């Protein structure tokens, strides 16, 4: 079975049309029409199907090139131009994915999809018995609506007569998948209206777009029966019915359908009303996306932006708070610790002789003791305080003003060079810390009087020598005999 090239091309283009903006498709159409390979073939007149209520254009010139064709009576190419406002196919709405929220997006179909001019008024509706276009393309009846008197996004309500009764519509684009050769459009509209809970008079077929011999895209305006716009409940109900495929149409008429686009136009908010009265203001329109969610992209972006800004502000606030806390802690610590530092420094400065020219720096890490303090601790270096004597001088037992028991070694004078060596040794001893080393508590040094004293932690129990060779030895032996263990503490 051979497949007509037109069908294949149309099928491919139908697929493509879901992915490309209508402007591109329209451009393609203009090019294809302009470069039609059968330009000499005059366009065959199309006869609209029979309908009583719907006025039809008598003859719609249609380019019979076997490609997708856009047919619009209001833009009938009398001047050889392509239609100015094709229906929007940018968003394929897959029915069966019900909306999950009542949020609506910005309109994707411009209000200009309504008949832009009054040319249709010149096309007399005809009652034709022919239900199908000779070429096999069924044409739905289109409503000749002239909406010049209406504000943007509004359409003329049918039956308003000479009165310009404009309302905000819900615009719907449907892809009819299997349009019969002799469709009863009146019945189709009646069924659609019935399924949507509307009156037939509320549905206006304003445009259609032939995709293939059996596929049509139709654009409809659904006008409110009362009032100038649909309520949110009614709009949601229509949207829900279409997206959830609740609308059951006679399959012999148009087959199944896909909801391509649905846009709900509303009056502007009351705050904009004065503006609207001054100049036409585009009404807010809500596009019902066909995806699984009805959430509005713009609202989603807005909420995302708000969320990002909120998080950013939160982070900034936390960072500022953190920095403030650190600054407060630092300043507080500086305040609390500065006085002791200053006091200690002042105390040391009071005691430690200032290194003059040619003098040696005193070790900063070791406690400097005054001579008076040492003198007092050893009761003026009385003989009774002597612990022993080594190669560098006598060692006195003493108690400092704070109660620390110490052994003060009074070095014999070593001259100025001795001062230097002494200070170097003090510096070195101050850094030595070991459990087997006697801890150096402080020192005193005076270059002028050649006095150098070292103050050690007092080691009780006498010297090792005394234990080994003196009376302590007897105590040690008795301790061993009577069970007192010999431990490290006993040996100093
Ligand atoms: N920290 C101390 N606690 C108790 N007694 C001590 C202390 N330091 C020294 N002595 C006593 O003073 C004596 C003299 O000690 P010093 O260190 O001056 O000389 P030494 O260690 O005996 O020999 P050298 O002079 O060669 O160092 C010691 O024998 C000891 O009895």
Ligand 1 centre distance from Cα of residue 42 (Å): 131
In ligand 1, the atom with minimum distance to the C-alpha of 458 is 3
Q: Give pLDDT tens digits for 110-139.
A: 333 333 333 333 323 333 333 344 345 556
Identify the band that residue 316 occupies on the pLDDT scale cut at 50, 70 and 90: very high
Name the closest-CA residue to atom 19, ligand 1: 390
Residues with CB under 6 A from ligand 1: 387-392, 395, 407, 409, 438, 456, 458-459, 463
Task: Provide the annotated binding site.
Answer: 409
3-class SS of residue 217? strand
At 381 the pLDDT is 92
Report which of 35, 41, 93 is spatially closest to residue 64, judged by C-alpha positions.
41
Q: Specify the pLDDT at position 81.
A: 31
- Ligand 1 mean position, distance from CA 386 (Å): 10
Q: Choose which residue among 396, 405, 463, 466 to substitute to test ligand 1 binding: the one with the highest number of ligand atoms within 8 A of its C-beta.
A: 463
Among 472, 471, 441, 455, CA closest to 396: 455
- Chain segment 164-200, per-residue pLDDT in tens: 888 888 999 988 888 887 778 888 888 889 888 898 8
Residue with the smallest CA separation from ligand 1 atom 16 is 390
Going by the annotation, the residues of the binding site for ATP are: 409
Q: Ligand 1 centroid vs 46 CA: distance in angstroms?
A: 129
- Closest Cα to atom 4, ligand 1: which residue? 459
Give the residue, by CA position, lying nearest to ligand 1 atom 18: 390
Report the atom number in ligand 1 closest to the C-alpha of 391.
25
Q: What is the DSSP string of 300-344?
A: HHHHHHHHHHHHHHHHHHHHHHHHHHHHHHHHHHHHHHHHHHHHH
How much is the pLDDT for 299?
55
Structure confidence at residue 232 as a pLDDT band (50, 70, 90):
confident
DSSP 93: B
Number of the ligand 1 atom closest to the C-alpha atom of 456: 1
Average pLDDT, stretch 455-470? 78
Closest-lying ligand 1 atom to the alpha carbon of residue 389: 14
CB atoms within 10 A of CB 55: 21
Q: Using CA atoms, how far apart are residues 344 and 7, in angstroms rounded to an integer?
A: 100
Interface ipTM: 0.95
Centroid of ligand 1 to alpha carbon of 105 (angstroms): 96
* 392 CA closest ligand 1 atom index: 25
Instruction: Please state the atom number of ligand 1 nearest to the C-alpha of residue 394.
Output: 18
240 Cβ contact list (under 8 Å, min separation 6): 98, 99, 246
Which residues have CB under 8 Å from 437's CB, separation 6+?
A: none
Q: Give me ligand 1 centre to Cα 167, in Å.
A: 114
Please classify residue 146 by burial: count the beta carbons closer than 10 Å to its beta carbon, then call 0-12 exposed, 13-18 middle and 19+ buried.
middle
Residue nearest atom 27 in ligand 1 by C-alpha distance: 390
Query: Residue 8 — pLDDT band, cuts 50, 70, 90?
Result: very low
- Closest-CA residue, ligand 1 atom 22, reads 390
Global pTM exceeds 0.80: no
Strands in 169-256 per DSSP E: 170-176, 203-210, 216-222
Nearest CA to ligand 1 atom 1: 458
Q: For ligand 1, atom 13, which residue shows the shortest CA distance?
A: 388
What's the CA-to-centroid distance between 113 and ligand 1, angstroms? Answer: 112
| Band of pLDDT at residue 427, cut at 50, 70 and 90 | confident
If you measure from the C-alpha of residue 488 to the centroid of ligand 1, how many angstroms do you get, rounded to a whole number? Answer: 18
**Interval between CA 220 and ligand 1 midpoint (Å):** 114
Q: Distance between CA atoms of 297 and 147, rounded to whole angstroms?
A: 30
Look at residue 105 in the predicted model and tell me its pLDDT: 37
Closest Cα to atom 9 of ligand 1: 395
pLDDT band for position 474 (50/70/90)? low
Residues 6+ apart with CB under 8 A from 10: 67, 68, 211, 212, 215
Closest CA to 230 of 219, 221, 217, 218: 221
SS3 472: helix
- Ligand 1 centroid to 446 CA: how many Å? 22
């Amino acid at each position: 079975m051979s497949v007509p090239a037109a069908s294949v091309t149309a099928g491919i283009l139908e697929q493509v049309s879901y992915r490309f903006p209508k402007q591109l498709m329209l451009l393609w159409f203009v090019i294809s029409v302009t470069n039609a390979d059968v330009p000499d073939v005059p366009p065959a007149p199309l006869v609209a199907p029979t309908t009583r209520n719907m006025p039809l254009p008598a003859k719609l010139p249609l380019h019979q090139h076997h490609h997708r064709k856009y047919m619009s009576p209001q833009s009938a190419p009398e001047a050889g131009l392509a239609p100015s406002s094709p229906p929007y196919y940018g968003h394929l709405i897959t029915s069966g994915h019900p909306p999950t929220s009542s949020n609506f997006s910005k309109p994707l179909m411009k209000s200009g999809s309504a008949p832009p001019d009054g040319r249709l008024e010149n096309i007399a509706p005809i009652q034709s018995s022919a239900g199908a276009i000779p070429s096999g393309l069924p044409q739905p009846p289109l409503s000749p609506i002239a909406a010049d008197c209406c504000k943007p996004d509004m359409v003329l309500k049918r039956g308003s007569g000479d009165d310009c009764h404009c309302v905000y519509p819900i615009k719907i684009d449907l892809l009819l998948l299997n349009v019969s050769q002799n469709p009863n459009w009146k019945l189709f509209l009646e069924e659609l209206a019935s399924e949507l809970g509307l009156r037939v008079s509320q549905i206006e077929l304003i445009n259609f777009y032939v995709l293939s011999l059996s596929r049509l895209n139709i654009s409809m305006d659904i006008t409110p029966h009362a009032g100038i716009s649909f309520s949110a409940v009614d709009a949601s109900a229509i949207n829900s019915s279409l997206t959830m495929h609740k609308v059951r149409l006679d399959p012999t008429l148009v087959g199944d359908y896909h909801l391509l686009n649905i846009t709900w136009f509303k009056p502007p908010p009351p705050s904009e009303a004065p503006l609207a009265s001054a100049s036409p203001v585009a009404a807010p329109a809500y596009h019902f996306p066909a995806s699984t969610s009805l959430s509005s992209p713009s609202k989603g972006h807005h909420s995302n932006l708000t969320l990002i800004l909120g998080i950013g502000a939160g982070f900034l606030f936390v960072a500022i708070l953190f920095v403030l806390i650190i600054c407060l802690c630092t300043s507080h610590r500086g305040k609390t610790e500065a006085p002791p530092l200053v006091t200690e420094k002042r105390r040391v400065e009071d005691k430690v002789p200032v290194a003059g020219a040619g003098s040696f720096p005193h070790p900063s890490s070791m406690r400097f003791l005054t001579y008076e303090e040492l003198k007092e601790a050893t009761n003026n270096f009385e003989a009774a305080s002597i612990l022993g004597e080594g190669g560098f001088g006598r060692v006195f037992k003493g108690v400092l003003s704070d109660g620390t028991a110490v052994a003060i070694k009074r070095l014999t004078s070593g001259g100025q060079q001795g001062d230097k060596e002494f200070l170097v040794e003090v510096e070195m001893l101050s850094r030595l810390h070991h459990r087997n080393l006697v801890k150096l508590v402080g020192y005193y040094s005076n270059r002028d009087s050649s006095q150098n004293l070292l103050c050690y932690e007092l080691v009780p129990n006498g010297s090792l020598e005394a234990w080994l060779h003196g009376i302590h030895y007897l105590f040690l032996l008795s301790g061993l005999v009577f069970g007192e263990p010999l431990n490290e503490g006993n040996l100093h």
